[in-house]
Amino acid sequence: MDNSNCTTAFFSIKEFAQKLGVHANTIRRGIKNGRINAFRVGSGKKATYRISHSEINRIAVFDMEEMIERIIEKRDRQKTFSNSTL
């Protein structure tokens, strides 16, 4: 990903969500459950999170690996089912 036209090295939650084409709450959940790496800026109700530009690439790789694992698991379940019905 080319970040040469970006003005900062970090995204806000809203910006990150827009880049990924998801709702900001999806990003918040990802941060909360540890799937998305972010750091907190400020404290209290004014606190916000910042997410590194490189996190987009990491998320893409992570999602691809997870998708491949699901495909393999589904294939294995189908093989087990077809073998048990013979």
Rounded distance between C-alpha atoms, residue 67 and residue 69, angstroms: 5
Tens digits of residue pLDDT in 55-81? 988 887 877 777 788 888 888 888 776
pLDDT-derived band of residue 85, with 50, 70 and 90 as boundaries? low
pTM for the complete prediction?
0.64
Q: Which domains does the chain have, with CATH numbers?
A: 10-84 (1.10.1660)
CB 48 within 8 A of CB 16: no
Tens digits of residue pLDDT in 13-33? 999 999 888 899 999 999 999
Q: What's the N-to-C CA distance of the chain in angstroms?
A: 49
pLDDT of residue 65: 79
